[in-house]
Amino acid sequence: MKAAESRPWRPFHPGYVSEFEQFMRGYLDQHPAAVAEQRRGWYLWWERRQDVDARERALRDAVPTRPYYYR
């Protein structure tokens, strides 16, 4: 999908496209590898596999916080 095909929903100014948005659409149309690199970075940093056993162990081993923390 090209960047120009994905249009944001603008209820009050349907024809307005900012200068930055025009630049980014042109850049992404000319550099399709940039989109793939963005997706790769997203999955590298945000879509990590979860270790369910480690999470359960951390919840089990957690020490409850006292009601008044600064005592």
Q: What confidence score (pLDDT) does residue 49 get? A: 83
Portion of the chain with pLDDT greater than 90, in percent = 39
Report residue 24 as tokens: 């980014």
* Residues lower than pLDDT 50 in the chain: none
Q: What confidence score (pLDDT) does residue 28 get? A: 94
**Residue 31 domain boundaries:** 20-61
pTM over the 0.85 mark: no
* Structure-token match 């600064």, residue found: 70
> For residue 56, is it within any domain?
yes
Number of domains in the chain: 1
> For residue 26, is it within any domain?
yes
**Can you point out the beta strands (E) in 2-65?**
none
> For residue 7, is it within any domain?
no
